[in-house]
């Protein structure tokens, strides 16, 4: 039937729907309802570790999830303050690690 679809000059959308569903449901079946909780927990703990060493702004943290067929990616983007300043200092041996102030978030 693809020749019909070509007449309309568009690729048929049904196979795309099928593939999207298969990927989505593969994840939902494995994860059940714990998935979002897991991500929230991961995010919280990862940020905690980073906060021990760096002062980070909560608003500058971006979290993305990309679920694929074989591999899923949890991407956490954190904007680190004064990175340029740090890099400049990195060449000096007397680099002090700043103690971050406890954030009141």
Binding site for another protein (CB under 8 A): 1-2, 4-5, 8, 12-15, 17-18, 20-22, 24-25, 28-29, 32
* Closest CB 24 distance from another protein, rounded Å: 7
Q: How far is CA 61 from CA 20, 22, 57, 64, 79, in A?
A: 28, 30, 7, 10, 7
Q: Which is nearer to another protein, 26 or 40 (CB)?
A: 26
The nearer residue to another protein, 18 or 60, going by C-beta atoms, is: 18
Residues facing residue 57 across a β-bridge:
none
Q: Minimum distance from CB of 11 to another protein (Å)?
A: 8
State the nearest-atom distance from the C-beta of 8 to another protein, in Å.
7
Task: For another protein, give the closer residue by CB, 15 or 34.
Answer: 15
Minimal distance in Å, beta carbon 64 to another protein? 21
Q: Collapsing DSSP states into helix, strand and coil, what is residue 6? A: helix
Distance in angstroms (rounded) separating the CA atoms of residues 59 and 39: 18
DSSP class of 34: S
Q: Which two tokens stand for residue 5?
A: 């679809």
């Amino acid at each position: 039937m693809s020749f019909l679809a070509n007449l309309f000059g568009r690729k048929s959308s049904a196979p795309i729907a099928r593939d999207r569903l298969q990927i989505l449901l593969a994840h939902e079946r494995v994860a059940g309802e714990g998935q979002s909780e897991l991500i929230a927990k991961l995010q919280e703990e990862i940020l905690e570790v980073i906060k021990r060493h760096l002062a980070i702004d909560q608003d500058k943290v971006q979290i993305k999830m990309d679920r694929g067929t074989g591999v899923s990616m949890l991407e956490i983007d954190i904007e680190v303050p004064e990175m340029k300043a740090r890099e400049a200092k990195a060449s000096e041996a007397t680099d002090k690690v700043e103690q971050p102030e406890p954030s009141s978030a």
